[in-house]
């Protein structure tokens, strides 16, 4: 029985930025091209391990291009295809629906097993593994190429006006119930969920009217109230002028009314009265027959 020291966070050698495997994988030449309906993503993957390449050639392993968006809590696989072959890899091209993303989008590049592999051993694995072999199951990560991030110049935003770009939705392990709105970040107002409820918010991506009514509306109300409190405090209040979310919200307030208006009424007006839209949704189409 072979003994070895477990390296990194995987129980088997993984090709990544560490020295588990004496080969390389990297992502280069990333280009983003937004359109009205989709965002086109093009990137080149260089991978030099012959054993892993052999597994991909026979269909035992494949690339996984997983994207996540922290603003919309949406995620998925980029169904990318080979756009161009290179001596040391390939350039891939794929698309993400514009309606699914807003703000920063993260794309993770991995090679995962599609079938069991037993024994699994790489000729270039680190000497700490000696001659060890492993049992690989479908879904196990064989190579981790890291990730890249981008912010598409969107030509369409499902939230109109584009107040959604002001908010970022995160999980807070210390929060057990309800939501908490935080204003310390310079880029976004952070809306914190308990870890167990954040996935439920993401599942509402097909009903943006409910996402806006249940979460964005109260978060915007609290944001407007926070700005009002700081303006009323004058010299003793926090200086918000350097925060991008303040600039965006302040512009929307000026376009829709003033800080003299009630926060609830002002937030409803900015968001286009989302409660009305949500309550009318079940009745759409009734009476048309």
pLDDT in tens, 44-96: 999 999 999 999 999 999 999 999 998 888 899 998 999 999 988 999 999 99
pLDDT attached to residue 183: 95
| Cα 61 from Cα 63, distance rounded (Å) | 7
pLDDT of residue 161 exceeding 80, the answer is no
Q: Which of 203-207, 252-256, 277-281 has the highest mean pLDDT?
A: 252-256
Q: Which whole number is the average pLDDT over 163-184?
A: 88
Banded pLDDT at 282 (limits 50, 70, 90): low
Say if CB 107 and CB 66 are below 8 A apart.
yes
Residue 252, classified by CB atoms within 10 Å of its CB into exposed (0-12), middle (13-18) or buried (19+), is buried
Question: What is the average pLDDT value for the chain, to the nearest integer?
Answer: 85
Query: Is the pLDDT higher at 283 or at 224?
Result: 224
Which residue has 């210390």 as its token pair?
174
Share of the chain above pLDDT 90, in %: 49
């Amino acid at each position: 029985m072979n003994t070895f020291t477990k390296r990194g966070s995987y129980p088997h050698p993984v090709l990544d930025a560490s020295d588990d495997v004496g080969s390389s994988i990297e992502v280069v030449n990333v280009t983003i091209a937004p359109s009205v309906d989709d965002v086109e993503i093009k990137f080149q993957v260089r991978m030099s391990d012959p054993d892993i390449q052999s597994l991909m050639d026979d269909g035992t392993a494949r690339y996984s291009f997983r994207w996540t968006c922290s603003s919309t809590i949406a995620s998925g696989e980029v169904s990318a295809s080979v756009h161009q072959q290179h001596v040391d890899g390939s350039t891939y091209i794929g698309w993400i629906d514009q309606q699914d993303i807003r703000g920063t989008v993260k794309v993770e590049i991995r090679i995962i097993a599609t079938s069991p592999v037993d024994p699994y051993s790489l000729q270039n694995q680190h000497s700490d593994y000696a001659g060890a072999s492993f049992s690989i199951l479908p879904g196990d990560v064989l190579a981790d190429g890291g990730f890249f991030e981008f912010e598409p110049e969107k030509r369409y935003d499902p939230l109109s006006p584009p107040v959604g770009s002001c908010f970022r939705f995160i999980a807070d392990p210390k929060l057990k119930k309800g939501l908490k709105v935080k204003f310390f970040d310079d880029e976004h107002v952070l809306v914190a969920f308990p870890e167990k409820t954040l996935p439920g918010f993401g599942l509402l991506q097909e009903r943006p009217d409910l996402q806006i009514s249940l979460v964005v509306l109260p978060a915007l109300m609290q944001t407007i109230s926070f700005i009002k409190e700081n303006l009323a405090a004058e010299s003793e209040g926090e200086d918000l002028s350097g925060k991008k979310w303040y600039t965006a919200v302040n512009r929307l307030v000026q376009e829709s009314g003033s800080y003299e208006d009630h926060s609830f009424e002002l937030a409803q007006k900015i968001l286009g009265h989302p409660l009305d839209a949500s309550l009318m949704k079940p009745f759409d189409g009734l009476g048309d027959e």
